[in-house]
């Protein structure tokens, strides 16, 4: 078994245990493999081990990788999970299947207008800033409903849910408490009649706490591909 295959095996076992601990089905949480900073060959190794969904932070790096893997494009699902600037929306709309990091209407409007007609609607999540402070990416919880209502009206996007990246904290209970704030916003939107099925929460260090708080998709990089050569 390659290192990546072995790591994937271990992450899947962690996820399965977390789902069981949360009283759910072992497959209720989707594993997104975050391949940022790793080469296309690492993605191929993960694919060979059965991994189909991949996340990228940096738009150009992601597009280069998607193109290098064009022979297996139909099997793969590519998620853009990094902060998005206006001048990058076209290339994202043209290449990715999902975007997790919508934090303002202008970005959503551009993605909708630029999504090519021959592709299915872009699947999107709003990034919510649940803990304010240092990590300023994301829409404030109080503004999430209004943004969701506006995004739902855009023709070439399909709003699937919310993503959050709380500041790292130590300990399961503290981690879960932050994730539960995102879960609360998610439930508020659903109660307001917005159909959502995706709560993108949890990374290598805190996926158990995220699943305990109701995550439906964890974004795992280091635990699958190893340590990154540069901080990201």
Sequence-ordered list of residues with C-beta below 8 angstroms from that of 56, at least 6 positions apart, any chain: 34, 35, 36, 62, 65, 78, 79, 80, 81, 82, 96
Query: Closer to ligand PLP at the Cβ: 11 or 185?
Result: 11
Query: Closer to ligand PLP at the Cβ: 157 or 164?
Result: 164
Q: Which of residues 96-135 bind ligand PLP (CB under 6 A)?
A: none
Could you say which DSSP state residue 158 is in?
Answer: E
Can residue 12 be called a binding residue for ligand PLP (CB under 6 A)?
A: no
CA angle 62/110/149 to nearest 5° reads 110
Sequence-ordered list of residues with C-beta below 8 angstroms from that of 118, at least 6 positions apart, any chain: none
Can residue 10 be called a binding residue for ligand PLP (CB under 6 A)?
A: no
Q: Which of 18, 165, 178, 199 binds ligand PLP (CB under 6 A)?
A: 165
How many whole angstroms separate alpha carbon 58 and alpha carbon 68? 15
Cβ of residue 160: shortest distance to ligand PLP, in angstroms? Answer: 16
With CA atoms as reference, report the closest residue to 183 among 160, 207, 210.
210
Is the CB of residue 126 less than 8 Å from the CB of residue 103?
yes
Query: Closer to ligand PLP at the Cβ: 14 or 104?
Result: 14
Query: Closer to ligand PLP at the Cβ: 48 or 232?
Result: 232
Cβ of residue 10: shortest distance to ligand PLP, in angstroms? Answer: 13
Can residue 222 be called a binding residue for ligand PLP (CB under 6 A)?
A: yes
Query: Closer to ligand PLP at the Cβ: 57 or 129?
Result: 57
- In the chain, % helix, strand, coil (3-state, to 5) comes to 45, 20, 35
Structure tokens at 14: 């962690």
State the residue number with the nearest CB to ligand PLP: 221
Q: Which of residues 22-61 bind ligand PLP (CB under 6 A)?
A: 34, 36, 57
Cβ of residue 7: shortest distance to ligand PLP, in angstroms? Answer: 11
**Interface residues with ligand PLP (CB under 6 A)?**
34, 36, 57, 81, 165, 203-205, 219-223, 232
């Amino acid at each position: 078994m390659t290192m990546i295959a072995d790591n994937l095996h271990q992450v899947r076992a962690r996820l399965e245990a977390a789902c069981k601990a949360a009283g759910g089905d072992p497959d209720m949480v989707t594993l997104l493999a975050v391949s940022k900073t790793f080469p296309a060959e690492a993605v191929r190794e993960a694919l060979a081990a059965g991994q189909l969904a991949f996340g990228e932070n940096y738009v150009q790096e992601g597009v280069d990788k998607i193109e290098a893997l064009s022979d297996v494009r139909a099997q793969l699902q590519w998620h853009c999970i990094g902060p998005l600037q206006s001048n990058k929306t076209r290339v994202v709309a043209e290449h990715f299947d999902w975007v997790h990091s919508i934090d303002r209407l202008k970005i959503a409007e551009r993605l909708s207008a630029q999504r090519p007609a021959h592709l299915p609607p872009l699947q999107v999540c709003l990034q919510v800033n649940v803990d304010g402070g240092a990590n300023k990416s994301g829409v404030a919880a109080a503004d999430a409903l209004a943004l969701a209502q506006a995004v739902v009206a855009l023709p070439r996007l399909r709003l699937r849910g919310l993503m959050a990246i709380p500041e790292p904290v130590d300990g399961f209970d503290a981690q879960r408490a932050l994730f539960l704030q995102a879960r609360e916003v998610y439930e508020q939107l659903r109660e307001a009649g917005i159909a959502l099925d995706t709560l993108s929460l949890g990374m290598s260090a805190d996926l158990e706490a995220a699943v305990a708080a109701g995550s439906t998709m964890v974004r795992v990089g280091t635990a699958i591909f190893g340590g990154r050569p540069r901080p990201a």
